[in-house]
Amino acid sequence: MSRETFSSRFGVLVTMIGVAVGLGNVWRFPYMVGEFGGAPFVLFYILMTVFVGVPALMAEWTLGRSTRRGPMGAFEASGVPGGRIIGRIFFLIVLAATAYYTNAVGWVVYHALAEILALVGITLDASRILPPDTGFDSTSFLLQLASTGVVIVACAVVLSRGLQRGIERVSRYVLPTLLVILLILIVRGVTLPGAGAGIDWYILKFDASALTGSVMLAALGQAIFSLSLGGTYMVIYGSYLAEGESILSGAVWTAAGDLTAGLLAGFAIFPAVFALGLEPAAGPGLLFSTLPAVFDGMPAGAFFGLLFFVGLAGAAWLSDIAAFEVLIAGLTDNTSISRRRAVLMCAVIVFLLAIPSMINLSIFVPWDLTFGSGMQTLGALLAILTVGWALNRSEVLGQLAGSENSTGRASGRIRFLYIWIRYVIPVAILMVGIWWVLTDLLHIVEL
């Protein structure tokens, strides 16, 4: 059977931006901004998205479209040494990552439910779903089981309908809804008394001395994370790109949409945080501890809290769908298993694998650091090296050039881009990997 492709340019953009946004921009970006000092981090993050994120995204799409396979088959088809083993390892990594990520999406869904009930006068302590730091809490565990199950069923319903009728159609509705929600929250946040201090801190107060090595590498890592690079999600979606689709313009527009979503999330959060005198450097807890306090402290806070968590749940759901699609395509591309059966198998396995991450944060956090930060950086590096050094040079140039390649010769701009991908991007991603080891594993914060 011929491989299904996206139905339109708009479908490509909303789907690609949708998977890129996820928790990476509406959750991780704001708390990274808070931890790394505001405006200096934001500026360098924008630069890294343009000069590293866009070319890396183009490379992952090139790997997917040139092989017409997800990561489980793309590395083997590319001719890279050990490609079959690499593909299967990535399949297992995505399986483990999808499990804990789906659990985290369940936390967001439960917070959205709490905000819905608050509108009708029913108080629900949303924090009860969060796993304890250590030990075991039966209430938290059962709530996580139920919420994770709901998220998996919601993903399975979409995925069973395929690319155009499922993934693409849902993205067309969810992403614009998220944009509207962020705009409403921004208007509410910036009109609160004292919100100006948050705007100044977020984008205006640039102190060059604050742009340390740690801040720069954190911004580079966020650019990779927020675009969902890692040799997985974007490879599989790249395999669904039609031959006439421009990889260059698509990557630019996807990065622009991803940047816009992250920056808008910051505008929706930090003015309100400062207006209510709360701490922006709350780390990962910014979403689940600081923001509920923000909504509790503002007029009609339950309504705005509902908008935020519903929008966040939608964005996270799109990323989760992409994670599942990597697994499903891995089975359907490389075995005789039907799509519906693959969806069912992946849903059951992910649900079972998610259970350990529900026990406590002592399990969840190392799982996140290993399969999220660490393995994502490794996957991005291997994908770039595969495109730059294993794929046929003329094939890569042709994929990058797209419609520009009508004469059969790549322009100087495309040849420069190929060299940039081959030599510069691997070094940048390797630096992020080293930074991750020094900070998250060895706990060296400043470089």
pLDDT in 10s for each residue of the chain, 447 residues: 578 999 999 999 999 999 888 777 877 888 888 888 889 999 999 999 999 999 999 999 999 999 999 999 999 999 999 999 999 999 999 999 999 999 999 999 999 999 889 888 888 899 899 999 999 999 999 999 999 999 999 999 999 999 999 999 999 999 999 999 999 999 998 999 999 999 999 988 888 887 888 888 888 988 998 899 999 999 999 999 998 899 999 999 999 999 998 899 889 888 988 888 887 776 666 777 778 888 888 888 888 988 988 888 998 999 999 999 999 999 999 999 999 999 999 999 999 999 999 999 899 888 887 877 788 889 999 999 999 999 999 999 999 987 555 455 678 999 999 999 999 999 999 988 888 777 777 777 554
Domains and CATH numbers, the chain: 9-441 (1.10.4160.10)
pTM (2 d.p.): 0.92
Burial class (CB in 10 A: 0-12, 13-18, 19+), 82: exposed
